[in-house]
Copies of this chain bind each other. A is one copy, B any other.
Amino acid sequence: MLDVAQSAGVSVATVSAVVNSSAPVSPELRSRIEMAIEQIGYKRNTIARSLKIGTTRTIGLIVADITNPFFTDVVSVIQDVLHRAGYAVMLCCNDEDTRLQDEQIDLLLDRMVDGLIIAPAGEDAHLSRILASTKTPTVLIDRLCDGVESDAVVLDNRRAVHDATAYMLNLGHRRIGYISGSLATSTGRERLAGYRAALDAEAIVFEENLVQIGNFREKDAYKAAMQLLIRADRPTAIFSANNLMVIGVMKAIRDIGLRCPEEISVVSFDDFPWADVFQPHLTTIAQPVQAIGEQAAQLLIDRLSGKEVEAPRRLMLQGRLIIRDSCRPVPIVTTRTTA
């Protein structure tokens, strides 16, 4: 900028004024400066600018798993609306590792992001402490975090799996296996609560050993499903608490030699774009990814643009059960296992 100023024979202040159009400058100087900029190929140094004005126009986005289509979908729309609002985004993913997550938060705060959107891998002390103490506006998505009072947009997980479970019960299933996500997450707990509530509503006793932890991951879910399937009194249906895990569940079903839906029914949280083209057509709970992303971004933008700092806002959206073809009424001849 100094070079430009000298080349155009003006002061740096004037150059700054035209670059930011922050102050009136005469047409003559303006054009001289613009020419100099063009000729020198000047690009303003955003670092120096940030240092001075104390804002980076960058927001940090942390998600647990970028390999999960649900997250990539919402990340995609978040990026889109944030970009439109003039923000860059730094995306970090931590493979559900809370230690890594803590590092990433520090790193982003370090780099002075203006805001943070987080889908927490889990609720550890560090996260709560940081979020409580930082002045950086933060919005939580997908998962809540105990003791953290901040804006958030989440799904009505309890209701969604309640509906799905009720659907299976309605089909006559009584032994429904449940592959759970990590109970260190609010989604893990809420979804399980929905399952129990649905059971309760039908006065069916909850069996501890029908729920296995799959940690939201395919590999773990495979093992978890295996536990359920090798038993003599195996369930007639399985619910998977997210998209990655249902892959593991289906692999276990295949390896055991069962056919879905003829011999075992399956419902999964999260929809797939290909769910109605590959067999079996999975019955799923679809999340409103577009809305989640848009609202999260909007919440943050509102804070950033200095609207009055009201109390934290919590948005709760509804999921939608999409019935396809991975569930069948419970077969009459289950007596084989009961006998």
Contact = CB atoms under 8 A, between A and B. Distances in A.
Interface residues of A, number: 44
A147 B111 CA distance: 35
Interface in A252-283: 254, 273-274, 277-280
Interface in A100-134: 100, 107-112
Contacts of A11: none
A218 B273 contact: yes
Contact of A112 (B47, B91, B110, B280): B47
A107 B251 CA distance: 43
A67 B58 contact: no
A218 B100 CA distance: 34
Interface in A29-81: 43-48, 50-51, 56, 58, 66-67, 69, 72-73, 75-76, 79
A254 B273 CA distance: 14
A56 B47 contact: yes
Contacts of A46: 110-112
Contacts of A218: 273
B51 A47 contact: yes
Most buried by B among A73, A79, A277: A277
A244 to B, nearest CB: 8
Contacts of A72: 66-67, 72
Given A89-B90, A277-B251, A66 B75 contact: yes
A109 B83 CA distance: 16
B45 A48 contact: no
Interface in A208-260: 218, 247, 250-251, 254
Contacts of A73: 67
Nearest to A253: B277
A315 interface: no
What 8 A-B pairs have minimum CB-CB distances, sorted nearest first? Answer: A279-B279, A278-B278, A91-B91, A250-B277, A90-B90, A46-B110, A47-B51, A247-B274
Given A43-B109, A88-B108, 12 more contacts: A47-B50, A47-B51, A47-B56, A72-B72, A88-B111, A89-B90, A218-B273, A250-B274, A250-B278, A251-B277, A254-B277, A278-B278
Interface of A: 43-48, 50-51, 56, 58, 66-67, 69, 72-73, 75-76, 79, 83, 88-93, 95, 100, 107-112, 218, 247, 250-251, 254, 273-274, 277-280
14 contacts: A43-B110, A45-B112, A51-B51, A83-B100, A88-B90, A88-B111, A90-B91, A247-B277, A250-B274, A250-B277, A250-B278, A251-B277, A254-B277, A274-B278
